[in-house]
Amino acid sequence: MQSLCKFYEMGDQTVRALDSINLEFGQNDYTAIMGPSGSGKSTLMNILGCLDTPTSGLYELNGQSVAEMDDDELARIRNKEIGFVFQTFNLLPRLNCLRNVELPLIYAGVAPEEREERAAKALVNVGLGDRIKHKPSELSGGQIQRVAIARALINNPSIILADEPTGNLDTATSHDIMNIFGALSEAGNTIILITHEEDIAHYTRRIIRLRDGKIESDERR
Amino acid sequence: MMKLTNRQFRYETTESLKMALFQIRANKIRSFLTALGVIIGIVAITMMGTAINGIDRGFDKSLAMLGYDVIYVQKSSWSTMGQWWRYRNRPDIKTTYADQINRVITANPRSELAIAVPQSSTYQASAKYRDRNLEQVFALGTNHNYLQTASGDLSSGRFFTAAEAASDEMVGVVGDDIASGLFPNEPALGKFVQLKNRKFRIIGIFRKQGKFLGLFSFDNQIIVPLGAFERVYGKSMFTSIRVKIKEQTRVTEAKEELLGMMRRIRGITPGKEEDFSINEQRAFKSQLDPIKNGIAVAGIFITGMSLFVGAIGIMNITFVSVKERTREIGLRKALGARRQTILMQFLIESVMICLIGGVTGLGITLFITFAIGQLLPSFPIQLSFDLVFASLTVSVITGIISGLAPAVTASKLDPADSLRYE
């Protein structure tokens, strides 16, 4: 992305949530985006996840320019190219794990039998093969987040975007989840993680620090 | 580029249907209360339609009893019934007109008319047999050709012959109610029934025809030769000429022809208004239109009101549902749901609530009509397929109208904002 800007009008003030950001994420990057609240990391996450479009600047995803896409095209990109993992998990409480995981496949137009098969496999991969018929309320926080990861992976996305994935989890469970991300990275996935916890960020290979809508540092390890 | 594939559409619709059912089941009481307006509306519309259908059918049935292909020469007109003062100075219809008409008909092979039969009648006859007595019997004097101008066949015996009619034999053909009323335990055929102080031998019995709305029946009639009738009741009873027409579809032409004949018979100079009326079933039927229209207007008003209230209720609850599920909408969008998908999901939900309401309403109507049918067998009532179809269509339309605004709101929600919504 090049000279990416996002401005908000707040009363008569213009808030520069993101100010001329230039970033590039390569295949198999494992990145943490850090910064204090108000630094623009949520905004960046929304734009990276095609949930929002930049006020100006260029965002290319796999060579496709996203900035000028309309809502439905963005929906398709989100469906095919991006897997979301949220701090609050965001599973649909009334659906069982399998139905939650297969949700993106419905929007992708995959046939029911194939949906079920792929969703079940994804759940096995995150170690929940014996819980596929359980509802989220019957699972622990760590298990729920693993279901969410399975859902994020189901469409083989180009990027996995995780917004404070461990924010609602205790330390031990957080490490479990980070180990899953580590394994996913080793398997070749591109992962962008947003966090404000240093020790979580240190699981990654690249840390980008934001402050006041600008990049403060970008270090690879 | 963003062309929605057929398959995708199908899967998304299936998903929406499932979710809608899910949602309705999860909020049973809320859904039921919401659907109540639609239920009442559908009950109102179907009951109304059923009542109108029933009246129509009942009437057609009784008109068929009278005979569709018969027109009547009478003193007053059916279509302006109740305005007796307009007709009271008209001269009586004479039974001899029938012969005059028949002569013209036979002389003209191209006539639209088949045969004319005189009839003189009273609704106030009483029929007696020994100590049994039936009041308000419909006594009718006519000739042997009567059956050509009337529906109804005999269950036993025979109609009187030309010879019997000509010699005014004291014989009679009675309706089923008279036969069973006067002779509950014995065959009526061959017995003598007394009208005033005269006795008539029963030579035939009509098959039971039933009533219309319990008001009027042909089962309590007694038909005797005209001369015999006049011997009992005199010549000044209510007289009309029944004229059978050849082609049911050419009623208008037949009436025209009969009008000309009657004017000649009556000697009415051209330009002067006739002093008789020619009646047909259609005029009779048009008498019912105001009643039917009244039912229809009331029904449509009630239906409209309750559907309107119902639609507002559904709109309201769908708005609430959209609000409650903001995060879900955000999530679905993040996972790849398009605007249209979200729109469809909420539309399907409101349509489904309405459809469930509609089906429930139909069920209630079905139950009510069934109950009425059991309690009042003679009341003609029937739920037609058209009505079922119409009410389901109305339900779907109500669902679309009431769900549209909230669904559009939902579809336009910003995914990033809705994901953060608490």
B419 reaches A (C-beta below 8 A): yes
Question: For residues B21 and B353, what is the distance between their CA atoms, to the nearest angstrom?
Answer: 9
Predicted local distance difference test score (pLDDT) of residue B382: 67
Binary contact (A107, B336; C-beta < 8 A) = yes
Chain A: which residues have CB within 8 Å of chain B?
46, 49, 51-52, 70-73, 75-76, 78-80, 84, 86, 90, 92, 94, 103-104, 106-112, 151, 155
Backbone angles phi, psi at B274, to 5 degrees: -75, 155
Question: For residues A173 and A177, what is the distance between their CA atoms, to the nearest angstrom?
Answer: 6
Q: How many CB pairs under 8 A join A and B?
A: 76
Binary contact (A151, B335; C-beta < 8 A) = yes
B340 reaches A (C-beta below 8 A): yes
Binary contact (A107, B5; C-beta < 8 A) = no
CB atoms within 10 A of CB A188: 8
B328 reaches A (C-beta below 8 A): yes
Question: For residues B250 and B245, what is the distance between their CA atoms, to the nearest angstrom?
Answer: 8
B60 reaches A (C-beta below 8 A): no
CA distances A169 to A19, A100, A138, A174, Å, are 32, 20, 16, 6
Residue in this structure with the two tokens 């608490």, named with its chain if needed: B422
Alpha-carbon torsion, ordered B142, B147, B153, B155, to 10 deg: 40
Binary contact (B8, A107; C-beta < 8 A) = yes
Residue B406, token pair as written in the block: 């909230």
Rg of chain A over Cα atoms, rounded to whole angstroms, equals 17
> Which residues are within 8 A (CB) of B416 and not within 5 positions of it... i.e. 6 or more apart?
A46, A51, A52, B330
Rounded to the nearest angstrom, the gap between the alpha carbon of residue A143 and the centroid of all alpha carbons in its chain is: 17
**B273 secondary structure, DSSP code:** P
Residues B144-187: tens digit of each pLDDT = 999 888 877 888 899 999 999 899 899 999 999 899 989 988 88
CATH number at residue A125: 3.40.50.300
B46 with B395: CB under 8 angstroms? no
Q: For the whole model, what pTM was predicted?
A: 0.70
DSSP A70-102: -HHHHHHHHHHHEEEE-TT----TTS-HHHHHH
Binary contact (A51, B415; C-beta < 8 A) = yes
Predicted local distance difference test score (pLDDT) of residue B285: 67
Binary contact (B22, A94; C-beta < 8 A) = yes
Label the pairing between strands A206-211 and A30-34: parallel
Chosen for mutation from A43, A107, A144, A194 (greatest number of chain B CBs closer than 10 Å) is A107
Binary contact (A51, B419; C-beta < 8 A) = yes
**B75 secondary structure, DSSP code:** S
DSSP B46-65: HHHHHHHHHHHHHHHHHHHH
Taking CA A71 as the corner, what is the angle to CA A67 and CA A77, rounded to the nearest 5 degrees?
70
**B248 secondary structure, DSSP code:** G
At B288, the amino acid letter reads L
Name the residue in chain B with its Cα closest to that of A78. B336
A213 with A17: CB under 8 angstroms? yes
Question: For residues B121 and B226, what is the distance between their CA atoms, to the nearest angstrom?
Answer: 9
Binary contact (A79, B335; C-beta < 8 A) = yes
Predicted local distance difference test score (pLDDT) of residue A118: 93
Predicted local distance difference test score (pLDDT) of residue B2: 44
Partner residue opposite B334 with nearest CB, options A71, A84, A92: A84
- For B23-28, the CB contacts below 8 A with 24+ separation are B23/B321, B23/B349, B24/B349, B24/B352, B24/B353, B24/B356, B26/A94
Taking CA B108 as the corner, what is the angle to CA B103 and CA B113, rounded to the nearest 5 degrees?
75
Show the low-confidence residues of chain B (pLDDT under 70).
1-4, 61-68, 79-84, 211-216, 282-287, 377-382
Give A44 to chain B, closest Cα distance, Å: 11
Residue B335, token pair as written in the block: 């996972």
Question: For residues A91 and A147, what is the distance between their CA atoms, to the nearest angstrom?
Answer: 8
> Which residues are within 8 A (CB) of B373 and not within 5 positions of it... i.e. 6 or more apart?
B379, B381
Closest by CA to B243, choosing from B73, B371, B367, is B73
Give A221 to chain B, closest Cα distance, Å: 31
> Which residues are within 8 A (CB) of B315 and not within 5 positions of it... i.e. 6 or more apart?
B350, B402, B403, B405, B406
Rounded to 10 deg, the angle between the A97-108 and B6-26 helix axes is: 150
Range of the domain at A95: 2-220
Binary contact (A90, B8; C-beta < 8 A) = no
B29 reaches A (C-beta below 8 A): no
All residues of chain B having their beta carbon less than 8 Å from the beta carbon of residue A71 are 338-339
Give A17 to chain B, closest Cα distance, Å: 15
Taking CA B129 as the corner, what is the angle to CA B126 and CA B131, rounded to the nearest 5 degrees?
100
State ipTM: 0.91
B416 reaches A (C-beta below 8 A): yes
Number of domains in chain A: 1
Binary contact (A71, B334; C-beta < 8 A) = no
pLDDT tens, chain A, 221 aa long:
454 555 555 556 666 778 878 888 888 889 999 988 878 888 888 888 888 888 877 888 887 888 778 888 889 889 998 999 988 889 988 889 999 999 999 888 888 899 999 999 999 988 888 888 999 999 988 899 999 999 999 988 989 999 988 888 898 999 989 999 999 999 888 999 998 888 888 899 999 998 888 888 888 87
Rounded to 10 deg, the angle between the B289-324 and B339-375 helix axes is: 140
- For B258-263, the CB contacts below 8 A with 24+ separation are B258/B71, B258/B73, B258/B101, B258/B113, B261/B100, B261/B101, B261/B104, B262/B73, B262/B97, B262/B101
B21 reaches A (C-beta below 8 A): no
Alpha-carbon torsion, ordered A156, A162, A167, A169, to 10 deg: 10
B336 reaches A (C-beta below 8 A): yes
Closest by CA to B178, choosing from B235, B234, B224, is B224
CA distances B92 to A214, B103, B156, B266, B271, Å, are 110, 21, 35, 11, 21
Question: For residues B296 and B328, what is the distance between their CA atoms, to the nearest angstrom?
Answer: 45
Residue B202, token pair as written in the block: 């029963």
Instruction: Tell me how long chain A is.
Output: 221
Partner residue opposite B336 with nearest CB, options A75, A94, A112: A75
